[in-house]
Amino acid sequence: MLALNLPAYETKITENDGKRQIFDILRKCYVALTPEEWVRQHFVHYLIDHKGYSKALMGNEVSILLNNTKRRCDTVVYDRSMRPRVIVEYKAPSVRITKEVFAQISRYNLILKVDYLIVSNGIQHYCCKMDYTDNTFVFLQEVPEYNKIIDVE
């Protein structure tokens, strides 16, 4: 798989029926190793190993109902009260991060109303902090550490 702009970690990859799979520490199972999944697993490990996020307070493929249609958020981060605080959307490294990608994650946020939105294709990462008072957002230079996202009130 392609080298990413994320720290390396010790991956667990296997093959099942001729298809490669990677271990997802949040779902606790092997999943199909797609380019997007490669990004997801690296980013999740980055959040846990380098930003202090707890795997017990994160979920992959979190289902939501949007306009009577079931959708899945790639990763959702919760605070200790299990309130959603961050939505992360992943794309394959070959996929450009465009305003359409932000429109997708913004639609998910209509339901979850989190404080931070993150989009990554493994090469480029964008993080914005929501301001619901002014209905705006601010792009941050980097992804905040976990203790900073739960201090937002």
* C-alpha to C-alpha distance for 152 and 79, rounded to whole angstroms: 10
Contact 88, 101 (CB under 8 A): no
Fill in the DSSP letter of residue 142: S
What does each of the 153 residues of the chain score in pLDDT, given as a tens digit? 688 999 999 999 999 999 999 999 999 999 999 999 999 999 999 999 999 999 999 999 999 998 889 999 999 999 999 999 999 999 999 999 999 998 889 999 999 999 999 999 999 999 999 999 998 899 999 999 999 988 754
The label of the residue with tokens 């939105």 reads 117
pLDDT of residue 152: 53
68 SS3 class: coil
pLDDT of residue 135: 85
pLDDT of residue 67: 87
Backbone phi and psi for residue 96, each to the nearest 5 degrees, phi listed first: -70, 145
| Cα–Cα distances in angstroms (integers) from residue 55 to residues 41, 78, 128, 135, 150, in the given order | 12, 10, 21, 30, 15
* C-alpha to C-alpha distance for 40 and 43, rounded to whole angstroms: 5
Task: Give one DSSP letter per residue of 84-109, joined into a string.
Answer: EEEEEEE--TTS---HHHHHHHHHHH
Domains observed in the chain: 13-149 (3.90.1570.30)
